[in-house]
């Protein structure tokens, strides 16, 4: 810490962690006269690094964009070792139910951690059949597609995947995107225009928000899962209207109240898009998603999903009418200005989709595992909110302790993602647990035992 004395006052020039204590607080002037004090000057007191977060560094003074870096760097140097290192840990194995993870704080590779962090909900990413299909595609097509899907990147495999997704979803057509993110961005910005209205649930994914921004349409957000608030936001707007909801919300694991939302959309003449990133291939009799779960497949205008979660691959899709897909082909910039999915990835997705269709027992096993874990945690007094899915939030509700608890879980054998502000609200910090059909009873029981033990030790459950 560099400091200098200026006019009798110490000016701290560099970030310094200073504990808040009685001695460095400004004293209270109780004289009743003159709350002005020259003699009682206060030093600037920095909070400890963990009382700040990314949101504090969104902007900075100066004329150079790089002026953002120094204040952030000063903070990051302190904040990273105190907890933020728990993000982006290098994985040294397949994302199976046991995983080898590099501990960047100690340099060790922690082997065989119980994996509750990966999206691999059906355990398909490392299935031998999937890997064999990928190898065969490498032999035939090589590594990449080497072109935009509207130019040279549209392989026969990609076309086959689009057709199979459309058939699986029971829709006329589907379009494949390089990621789920680009699917939302390309769809919303490709469909909605300046002067239109897009209304999304407040917990909608960033890709929905970015699609709204790029569309230049009026944007509104309604209170989470509140059809009455949606109705208020749609109001008396006369133009084109699109409502965006998610099947399963990714931070809370709760479901959209689709029947009520669809009713409001009908009343106000709005089209509805459902993002089933976390629910396609899982929910409903055939695994089509939450819309099928509610028996409302045909009441939803646009279905969107990802391949990176339940299929264990990569990419996203939009499914709907032929007219929708034909139109998007010309207006969905995130698709046609991106390289098409690599053929080996597509081949793996086609095989994974086939397994979803031919092995419904995968979904049965997933829901049995979800029921077991939810019950096990609730019986132990763990707050898992209102989750109704394979995404199970383990609520800590204390931003100051989440990283410390996360480190303990990591060191004791569980790999699970901490989530804190600004990804969720202040003091809505939690661990986001992903349950997979591939988890064994032993995985689940051992993982739950570690989690409960650590939460008890930290006073989160008693």
Partner 1 sequence: MRLTKYEFKHCIGAMFEMSTADARKILPAHLQPLEVQHTRSVLAVLAFQFTGSEVGEYDEVVLSVVTPPRVEPGKPLPQAAFYPFMVATSTEAAREHAIERWALPHHMKDLDFSFDEADGQMKVGVYDDGAPVLELSVSDHSFRDVDYPYHCFMMRGDQRLKVNIYMNAAHSQHEEETGELVLYSHPMTDPLTIDEVSSYPFREEWYGSGIQTFEEVEQI
Q: Which residues are near partner 1 by CB under 8 A?
A: 7, 9, 12-15, 20, 24-26, 28-30, 32, 34-38, 40-42, 44-47, 51-52, 56-62, 70-71, 74-75, 202, 209, 212-213, 218-221, 223, 398, 400, 421, 424-428
User: Least distance in Å: CB of 274 to partner 1?
Assistant: 20
Question: 341: which DSSP letter?
Answer: P
Of the two residues 250 and 314, which places its CB atom closer to partner 1 in the complex? 250
Q: What is the β-pairing status of strands 271-275 and 241-246?
A: parallel
Helix H or strand E segment including 272: strand 271-275
Of the two residues 50 and 134, which places its CB atom closer to partner 1 in the complex? 50
Of the two residues 59 and 358, which places its CB atom closer to partner 1 in the complex? 59
Alpha helices in 287-415 (DSSP H): 290-293, 322-331, 333-336, 343-358, 361-379, 402-411
User: Least distance in Å: CB of 146 to partner 1?
Assistant: 35
Of the two residues 5 and 36, which places its CB atom closer to partner 1 in the complex? 36
Alpha carbons 250 and 415: distance in angstroms, whole number: 18
Residues 402 and 396 sit within 8 Å (Cβ to Cβ): yes
Of the two residues 29 and 326, which places its CB atom closer to partner 1 in the complex? 29
User: Least distance in Å: CB of 405 to partner 1?
Assistant: 15
Alpha carbons 363 and 121: distance in angstroms, whole number: 9
Q: What is the β-pairing status of strands 98-102 and 9-12?
A: unpaired
Residues 190 and 343 sit within 8 Å (Cβ to Cβ): no
User: Least distance in Å: CB of 267 to partner 1?
Assistant: 19
Of the two residues 224 and 329, which places its CB atom closer to partner 1 in the complex? 224
User: Least distance in Å: CB of 203 to partner 1?
Assistant: 11
Alpha helices in 142-245 (DSSP H): 156-169, 180-191, 206-215, 227-234
User: Least distance in Å: CB of 230 to partner 1?
Assistant: 14
Peptide bond into 422 cis (omega under 30): yes
Could you identify the residue written with the tokens 């763990």? Answer: 382
User: Least distance in Å: CB of 59 to partner 1?
Assistant: 4
- Tell me phi and psi for residue 305, to 5 degrees: -155, 180
User: Least distance in Å: CB of 262 to partner 1?
Assistant: 24
Closest CA to 115 of 456, 446, 381: 446
Helix H or strand E segment including 221: strand 218-222
Alpha carbons 401 and 302: distance in angstroms, whole number: 41
């Amino acid at each position: 810490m560099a400091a200098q004395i200026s006019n009798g006052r110490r000016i701290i020039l560099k970030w310094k962690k200073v504990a808040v204590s009685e001695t460095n607080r400004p004293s209270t002037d109780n004289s009743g006269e003159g709350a002005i004090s020259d003699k009682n000057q206060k030093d600037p007191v920095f909070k400890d690094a963990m009382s700040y977060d990314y949101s504090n560094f969104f902007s900075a003074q100066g004329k150079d964009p790089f002026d953002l870096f120094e204040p952030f760097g000063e903070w990051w140097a302190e904040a990273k070792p105190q907890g933020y290192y728990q993000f982006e840990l290098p994985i040294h194995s397949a994302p199976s139910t046991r995983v080898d993870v590099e501990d960047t704080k100690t340099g060790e590779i922690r082997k065989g951690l119980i994996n509750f962090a990966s999206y691999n909900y059906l355990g398909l990413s490392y299935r031998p059949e999937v890997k064999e299909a990928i190898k065969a595609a490498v032999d035939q097509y090589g590594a990449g597609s080497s072109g935009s899907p509207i130019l040279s990147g549209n392989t026969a495999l990609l076309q086959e995947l689009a057709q199979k997704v459309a058939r699986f979803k029971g829709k006329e057509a589907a379009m494949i995107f390089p990621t789920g993110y680009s699917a939302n961005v390309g769809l919303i910005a490709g469909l909605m225009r300046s002067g239109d209205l897009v209304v999304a649930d407040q917990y909608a994914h960033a890709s929905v928000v970015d699609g709204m921004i790029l569309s230049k349409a009026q944007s509104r957000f309604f209170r989470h899962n509140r059809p009455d608030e949606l109705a208020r936001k749609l109001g008396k707007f006369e133009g084109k209207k699109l409502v965006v909801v998610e099947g399963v919300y990714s931070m809370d694991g709760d479901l959209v109240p689709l029947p009520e939302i669809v009713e409001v959309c009908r009343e106000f003449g709005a089209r509805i898009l459902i993002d089933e990133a976390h629910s396609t291939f899982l929910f409903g009799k055939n695994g089509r998603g939450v819309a099928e779960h509610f028996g409302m497949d045909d009441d939803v205008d646009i279905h969107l999903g990802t391949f990176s979660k339940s299929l264990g691959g990569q990419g996203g899709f939009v499914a709907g009418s032929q007219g929708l897909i034909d139109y998007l082909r010309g207006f969905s910039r995130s698709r046609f200005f991106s390289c098409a999915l690599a053929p080996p990835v597509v081949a793996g997705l086609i095989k994974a989709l086939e397994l979803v269709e031919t092995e419904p027992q995968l979904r049965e096993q997933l829901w049995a595992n979800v029921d077991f874990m939810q019950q096990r945690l609730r019986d132990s007094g763990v707050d898992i909110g209102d989750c109704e899915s394979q995404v199970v939030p383990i609520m800590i509700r204390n931003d100051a302790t989440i990283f410390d608890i996360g480190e303990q879980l990591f060191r004791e054998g569980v790999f699970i993602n901490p989530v804190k502000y600004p990804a969720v609200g202040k003091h809505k910090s939690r661990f986001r647990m992903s349950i997979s059909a591939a988890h064994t009873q032993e995985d689940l029981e051992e993982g739950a035992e570690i989690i409960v033990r650590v939460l008890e030790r930290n006073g989160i459950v008693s």
